[in-house]
Amino acid sequence: MEYTDIFDTHAHYADKKFDSDRELLLSQTLPAAGIKYIMLAGVEIPDCLASMELAKQYDFLYCSAGLHPSYLDSRPEDWQEQIQSIAGFSKCKAVGEIGLDYHNGRENAELQKQILIQQILLAKELQLPCIFHFRDATGDAVEILKQYQPRGILHCFNSSAETAKELLKIPDLYFSFSGVITYKNARKPVEAIQVIPENRLLIETDSPYLAPEPFRHKRCDSSMILRTAEKAAELRKMPVQDFITICCENACRIFDI
C-alpha cells in the first residue's frame, strides 16, 4: 500500500549516521516513500546550523533551533543569540529540541530546568512553538508546562494516558508518537495514543533512532514511519491514510507551514 502526505515531525539527518547515503535518502528514497515534509530537530548549535543548511538544499525539509538537555555543557556563552539568529531563517519553524532528561541522574536538574524555561520564554518572544524532549522527568515537566503554557510538540510521547489527559488541558500542546508504539512492551504510549483528540496527534521517527518493528535496533529513516502510522491507525480504529493526513494537517498547523 502506498501512502502520501506523510509528515515526519522529528528527525536528525545532520547526524553522522547518514553520512554515507544522506543525499540518496533525501533526494530520492524518502520522497518516493510518500514523505511530504520532515522537521529536523536541533540538539546543539553546530547541529542546528547543519540542519539549517540541509533545509536550504531540500524543499521538503524544515528545521528548528535549540539546546537539548544532554548538550548543555558544550553550550557557547552566546547560545541564546545564536538560537535567535538561526530562528531568523524562514524555514526554522520551532525552538527545539529542548526539555529535561534525568535518565542518567539529576545532578544538573536545576540547570536543565533553568535553560528549558529560558528557551520556552525565547520561543514565546519569537512566536515559535517548542519541540520538547522529556525523559524520566515527568513530574518536573508537567509542572513547568502547566506554569508556562507553551505552544509545542511533546516529541516521542511515552508517558501514561493519565499524564496525557493532564497535559491536554494546555491548549496548544501536540503529542507526537514514534516507533516505540510498535514495541511489545510499549504499554503506556499505546494507551496514551488512544485518548488524544484527533487534532492534537502527530507521528515521527526520531531518525536515526527508535526504528519501529520489524526494524528495531537498525538505523531508522523516515520511510519506516509507515509502520508507526499503520500501528497508530490500528489503535485508533481508522484508515491509515486518514490518520496520516490528519497528522500532516496538524503538523502544518503547529509549524505554520
**6-255 CATH fold:** TIM Barrel (3.20.20)
Distance, CA of 76 to CA of 170 (rounded, Å): 32
Domain positions in the chain: 6-255
Over residues 48-100, the pLDDT tens digits come to 999 999 999 999 999 999 999 999 999 999 999 999 999 999 999 999 999 99
Q: For 120-148, what is the mean pLDDT?
A: 98
**Length of the chain in residues, anyone?**
257
Q: Are 77 and 46 in contact (CB under 8 A)?
A: no
| pLDDT number for residue 1 | 66
| Residue 37 to residue 31: CA distance in whole angstroms | 9
- What backbone phi and psi angles, to 5 degrees, belong to 226? -60, -40
pLDDT at residue 166 greater than cutoff 70: yes
- Mean of pLDDT values over 119-132: 98
198 SS3 class: helix
d(CA 128, CA 242): 27
At 149, is the secondary structure helix, strand, or coil? coil
Q: Region 142-165: what's the mean pLDDT?
A: 98
The cell for 39 is 522537521
For residue 232, what is the DSSP state?
A: H
69 Cβ neighbours under 8 A, 6+ residues apart: 98, 99, 100, 101, 112, 115, 116, 133
What pLDDT is attached to residue 85? 98
The residue whose grid cell reads 547560545 is 79
CA pair distance 150, 155, nearest whole angstrom: 14
Q: What angle do CA 200, 228, 54 make, to 5 degrees?
A: 80
pTM for the model stands at 0.97
